[in-house]
Structure 1
Amino acid sequence: MTPRSALPLLVKICGVRTAEAVEAAIAAGADMLGLNFHPASPRYVEPGMAADLARRARGRAAIVALAVEPADAQLSALRSAVAPDLWQFHGAESLERIRDLRAVFGLPVMKALGVATAADLAAVPAYAAVSDRILLDAKPPKDAAYPGGHGRAFDWGVLAALPPGLPFMLSGGLAPENVGGAIRTIRAMGLNLAGVDVSSGVESAPGVKDPARISAFIAAAREADGV
């Protein structure tokens, strides 16, 4: 029997940019909604629009503010305008920077780490010690304009190098067609998969969420999780 966590798997829909996407994700049962504040991303959302999206989602799903190596001033402005439930840092933030931001802003932190080989997992325990959640994503192409998996999956087999009890969320190339297989594969390795995160895999075009694909993704994740 495939091992599973005692807690239900979290499902995060990242890069939502419209009220329609927010409503579709919540109706389908998303636990977390990601708002992307990195200007180079096709999923970037202006803080004013993000504030409206956050109001729609508040109390119905956790609001995650994604930033890349942000200045304190940017985070202060986002906290005032959007009032996120947690930060997601997706750049090359140091351990010390994560620790400081968590203390200064008083919000939980999800740290994203890029993975291509087992060697990339060496830093995970240290970041896990200063973060509330760890998100393992595919490393971006070398010429990429912004971080993230860019719709590409990495070899999930390399995750065997993780400490078995360390909880993490998975991203990178996930889609309705493969998320169930990813969950079953990783759980069969005896790892503590706490959640899955998707962005481009539920889009009809870059930055355009497809309600049918959102619903299919969440349904496939729930089925694989045994819910």
Structure 2
Amino acid sequence: MTGHVRVKICGLTAPADVAAAVKAGAAYVGFVFFPASPRNLSIEAARDLALSVPPGVAKVALTVDASDALLDAIVAGVPLDMLQLHGHEPPDRVAGVRARHGLPVMKAVGLADEADLARIDAYAPVADQILVDARPPRGAPLPGGNGLAFDWRLIAGRRWSVPWMLAGGLTPDNVAEAIRLTGAQQIDVSSGVERAPGMKDPARIEAFCAAARRASGRDI
């Protein structure tokens, strides 16, 4: 595996989380706006965290089937570089959000079996990036951040017309294998670097980024 693997640390809730992600070399930091999540933030709290992120690290807002009003408030209140849509937003909604806010949009697509791959093809024309995640079990309260992985062999060697990012059940212990099997150049983690739901562990953040760095054969 060669190339520069870019890491996104999602679900940051405290200044120490941001500092740890930046120190470890993360390329993206993610803030969650979804009340059911233990990582949910108010707009005011997210703004304070975003203002502490240095230039060169992309700030991403994760939302789930958010209304225009909520997205308007988030974009107006928080300095952002990207919106992440992690719900059941259809392709036309993704295109509409992108046009309305003038920000790059990443669309999460959950995979459980080969039939789900067609959904990625449907979103690639309207999204700037695709987040390839594990499809949550039926009835799960959260669309992501559940610590679940999918069979990485489903996407081995696959490429799409837009950049993509691998998520779902990644940890410091398995991220290198995930990169090796999928060829992913971008990696997303949330629960895999926590000591408890919504509470990031700086040591696990450092270990995760170091493992991704080793797998890529280059510095992050």
Aligned pair count reads: 218
Partner of 2:123: 127
* SS of the residue 1:123 aligns to: helix
Say if 1:115 and 1:121, in contact at 8 Å, map to a contact too: yes
Alignment-mate amino acid for residue 76 of structure 1: D
Partner of 2:80: 84
Q: Which among 195, 200, 206 is matched to residue 209 of structure 1?
A: 200
Partner of 2:8: 12
Percent of pairs with identical residues:
50
| TM-score scaled by length of structure 2 | 0.95
Say if 1:34 and 1:47 are closer, same or farther in 2 by CA, change over 3 A: same
Map 1:31-50 to 2 at 5 A: 31-50=27-46
* SS of the residue 1:65 aligns to: strand
Shift, 1:162, TM fit: 3.7
Say if 1:110 and 1:134, in contact at 8 Å, map to a contact too: yes
Q: Distance in 1 between matches of 2:214 and 2:108?
A: 25
Shift, 1:80, TM fit: 1.1
Map 1:124-203 to 2 at 5 A: 124-160=120-156, 162-163=158-159, 167-187=163-183, 193-203=184-194
Say if 1:139 and 1:149, in contact at 8 Å, map to a contact too: no
Instruction: Using the TM superposition, name which of 161-170 and 36-45 deviates more.
Output: 161-170
Shift, 1:176, TM fit: 0.2
Instruction: Using the TM superposition, name which of 160-169 and 194-203 deviates more.
Output: 160-169
Q: Distance in 1 between matches of 2:131 and 2:92?
A: 18
* SS of the residue 1:52 aligns to: helix
Map 1:52-67 to 2 at 5 A: 52-67=48-63
Partner of 1:51: 47
Q: Distance in 2 between matches of 1:40 and 1:73?
A: 18
| TM-score scaled by length of structure 1 | 0.92
1:94-129: CA deviation from partner (whole Å, max 9, x where unpaired):
110101110111000000000000110112122111
Say if 1:159 and 1:142 are closer, same or farther in 2 by CA, change over 3 A: same
* SS of the residue 1:130 aligns to: coil
Q: Which among 74, 77, 92 is matched to residue 96 of structure 1?
A: 92
Say if 2:129 and 2:162, in contact at 8 Å, map to a contact too: no
Alignment-mate amino acid for residue 198 of structure 1: V
Alignment-mate amino acid for residue 95 of structure 2: R
Say if 1:140 and 1:149, in contact at 8 Å, map to a contact too: no
- Unaligned 5+ residue runs, structure 2? none
**RMSD across aligned positions (CA):** 1.5
* SS of the residue 2:47 aligns to: helix
Say if 1:116 and 1:139, in contact at 8 Å, map to a contact too: yes
Q: Distance in 2 between matches of 1:16 and 1:149?
A: 12
